[in-house]
Chain A
């Protein structure tokens, strides 16, 4: 008999009941909640007179809408403040643990889940946020849901699901100098397209994936949604277990031994098949820069901005023309000729301690270019604390970067951190959609290393050869 995939194993162990047509009631182990997509869910519970089934299975934190400036001051935006207070009230009323604004553990929801040991291998994890795919880095089935489903999980600890397809993305080989998980995932999306993974759960395999740190795997899985996939995952290994051990919410003692034994079984069997396999070579992946208004519009930094006149497909040509017009770019210009106004290092994609260490290492002794405004927003209060203990904040400040409080910040620009119309930003975030970082703003998605080099030079550079 053929074996089963990692996804199959997790799915099978969470089936509460299944209909002959495949409609499945799937058990959800963990839910993360934030202020933006939860108020209507809690309101729904109240209106129906329902209580959360397992309050302890849910963890809440405000992140999308919080200021990244001085936290001792009241929030200037009254509507934002009301949303954050509503989350506090709902958590109190329904008995849900909240890491509030003044809690050192507050941070981006997809940073704090792993940081606290809330994210564990073999679990099902949901959140009203598409980047929930991040948690798949631990060998969990983690996916984003809408607010109605947030309410559904609070009330029932289950979701009605149809089994998705499986997709393997294998990356073998060794990454180039200073190339990272961000470059791998951008290159993947460039290859499969923004709908390439629709209806599928991706498992990332291969020697280049195994070589990634846990932070790198989180970056990789985080952007699975940008390739259209509901979830991305990496099989747990010794790195995963070492990362989890000792975290506040992780199992301890005998329970940990039991858990580790179970986690070792979480791998795709030899002979198991996926519905689709895509293969990339790590050596072929240059540092990536997005040039358009969709994450699939991406190229190596050693390439040129594409020329829509060379495109035969009418839809692609039309979308490219529109994107280049919005981005203010000329076909065939070198990617390294693109100059920038702002730099944002942060977001659930790239704001963990390893990202900040790497960025600080490159920024050390350098200066942000005169015309560039650059900011670093740590992923959580604890990441910020750790970075400050290591002196990274000093390195950034001395180089001319602003050092902020934790939050989603300019990734979606829901708080005061916004691009002005026409401003061009090198961003370590995950979406370059029109207006994502502010109406009329222009976003180029890059790795933290690429962002630092762009901040210093004022334009993109090939960091493989930068000094």
Chain B
């Protein structure tokens, strides 16, 4: 964790507005597909909202249904065994495509606090941290073996420990994951990133003055 001399350390306790993520044990749901794009996570008709909440009905909307419109019993969200899942296990390049933050909002609204995959698309990965969701990158073969276990085992749960940076099975097998220390700290403490940045207002103003001297055409609005 960060020490007192760290310039990004926060000085106001009132800034903890986001859900902090420390350690959780949760039911796992598998989505065994690569390149799941954010259009699949939440289709466009749900993007007309002006709120962040209430998006669970749109989550994987097209994949929940069969061609005739009835619920597809094969899709994990429709299966009783995965109700209440808090961890989504999936494959490479999850969250590619559109930048819509409605994707993590919908996952959160459905109860997911953690997504585990071999890789994520950049913007989706960023958006997760803004919403108290932990995206965990494990190796492809680790995800594969977890995918087999979760499919074969009813009530399969994992423990995700952000402090220790581990994902642990109920049998005690632990997988370590990497995470950027700054992102980890913000998520662990549930810090509001705008408040963090606003602490550097003096530095921002100084930058603007400096830059204005070099590139005045970009700062016509500033005195």
Interface-located stretch among A75-83, A279-287, A350-358: A75-83
Min CB gap A250→B, angstroms: 8
Q: B50, A19: Cβ atoms under 8 Å? A: no
Task: Given A25-B203, A146-B99, A195-B121, verify A155-B194 contact (CB < 8 Å).
Answer: yes
Question: Taking the complex as formed, is A157 at the interface, i.e. its CB lies under 8 A from any CB of chain B?
Answer: yes
Number of A-B contacts (CB under 8 A): 188
Distance A58 CA – B103 CA, assembled complex (angstroms): 25
Min CB gap B41→A, angstroms: 11
Q: Which residues of A contact B200 (CB under 8 A)?
A: 16-17, 25, 158
Question: Taking the complex as formed, is B106 at the interface, i.e. its CB lies under 8 A from any CB of chain A?
Answer: no
Residues of B11-44 whose CB lies within 8 A of A = 33-35, 37, 39-40, 43-44
One digit per residue, 1 when the CB lies within 8 angstroms of any chain A CB and 0 when it does not, for chain B 117-137 equals 001011100110011000000
Residues of B48-84 whose CB lies within 8 A of A = 48-52, 62, 67
Q: A435, B194: Cβ atoms under 8 Å? A: no
Question: Taking the complex as formed, is B216 at the interface, i.e. its CB lies under 8 A from any CB of chain A?
Answer: yes
Q: B34, A50: Cβ atoms under 8 Å? A: no
Question: Taking the complex as formed, is A21 at the interface, i.e. its CB lies under 8 A from any CB of chain B?
Answer: yes
Residues of A352-380 whose CB lies within 8 A of B = none
From B48, B92, B122, give the contact of A79 (CB < 8 A).
Answer: B48
Distance A56 CA – B220 CA, assembled complex (angstroms): 9
Residues of A212-255 whose CB lies within 8 A of B = 225-226, 228, 230, 251, 255
From B67, B193, B220, give the contact of A160 (CB < 8 A).
Answer: B193
Q: B194, A23: Cβ atoms under 8 Å? A: no
Question: Taking the complex as formed, is A315 at the interface, i.e. its CB lies under 8 A from any CB of chain B?
Answer: yes
Q: Which residues of B contact A57 (CB under 8 A)?
A: 221
Q: Which residues of A contact B196 (CB under 8 A)?
A: 160
Question: Taking the complex as formed, is A336 at the interface, i.e. its CB lies under 8 A from any CB of chain B?
Answer: no
Q: B40, A40: Cβ atoms under 8 Å? A: no
Q: B211, A258: Cβ atoms under 8 Å? A: no
Q: A123, B92: Cβ atoms under 8 Å? A: no
Distance A28 CA – B221 CA, assembled complex (angstroms): 15
Distance A256 CA – B120 CA, assembled complex (angstroms): 41
Q: B37, A195: Cβ atoms under 8 Å? A: no
Q: Which residues of B contact A94 (CB under 8 A)?
A: none
Q: Which residues of A contact B211 (CB under 8 A)?
A: 13, 27
Question: Taking the complex as formed, is A99 at the interface, i.e. its CB lies under 8 A from any CB of chain B?
Answer: no
Question: Taking the complex as formed, is A205 at the interface, i.e. its CB lies under 8 A from any CB of chain B?
Answer: no
Q: A194, B44: Cβ atoms under 8 Å? A: no
Task: Given A128-B99, A152-B193, A319-B34, verify A157-B182 contact (CB < 8 Å).
Answer: no
Question: Taking the complex as formed, is A431 at the interface, i.e. its CB lies under 8 A from any CB of chain B?
Answer: yes
Report the count of interface residues on A (CB-CB < 8 A).
Answer: 78
Question: Taking the complex as formed, is A206 at the interface, i.e. its CB lies under 8 A from any CB of chain B?
Answer: no
Question: Taking the complex as formed, is A198 at the interface, i.e. its CB lies under 8 A from any CB of chain B?
Answer: yes
Distance A130 CA – B39 CA, assembled complex (angstroms): 12
Question: Taking the complex as formed, is B154 at the interface, i.e. its CB lies under 8 A from any CB of chain A?
Answer: no
Q: A19, B121: Cβ atoms under 8 Å? A: no
Q: Which residues of B contact A228 (CB under 8 A)?
A: 93, 96, 121-122
Q: A198, B198: Cβ atoms under 8 Å? A: no
Question: Taking the complex as formed, is A405 at the interface, i.e. its CB lies under 8 A from any CB of chain B?
Answer: no
Min CB gap A277→B, angstroms: 20
Distance A324 CA – B115 CA, assembled complex (angstroms): 28
Task: Given A195-B96, A259-B215, verify A83-B48 contact (CB < 8 Å).
Answer: yes
Q: B204, A43: Cβ atoms under 8 Å? A: no
Question: Taking the complex as formed, is A433 at the interface, i.e. its CB lies under 8 A from any CB of chain B?
Answer: yes
Q: Which residues of A contact B181 (CB under 8 A)?
A: 21
Q: Which residues of B contact A147 (CB under 8 A)?
A: 52, 101
Q: A130, B97: Cβ atoms under 8 Å? A: yes
One digit per residue, 1 when the CB lies within 8 angstroms of any chain A CB and 0 when it does not, for chain B 159-197 equals 000000000000000000000111000000000011011
8 residue pairs of the A-B complex, CB under 8 angstroms, read A29-B218, A37-B99, A40-B52, A146-B99, A146-B101, A151-B194, A258-B216, A433-B40
Q: Lowest 9 CB-CB distances: which A-B pairs, in order? A: A56-B221, A251-B217, A148-B130, A39-B50, A146-B101, A146-B127, A144-B99, A147-B101, A195-B93
A-B contacts besides A48-B194, A146-B130, 12 pairs, CB < 8 Å: A21-B181, A27-B207, A37-B99, A77-B48, A129-B98, A145-B99, A146-B99, A152-B194, A294-B35, A433-B97, A434-B62, A440-B67
Q: Which residues of B contact A (CB under 8 A)?
A: 7-8, 33-35, 37, 39-40, 43-45, 47-52, 62, 67, 91-93, 96-101, 104, 119, 121-123, 126-127, 130-131, 180-182, 193-194, 196-198, 200, 203-204, 207-208, 211, 214-218, 220-222
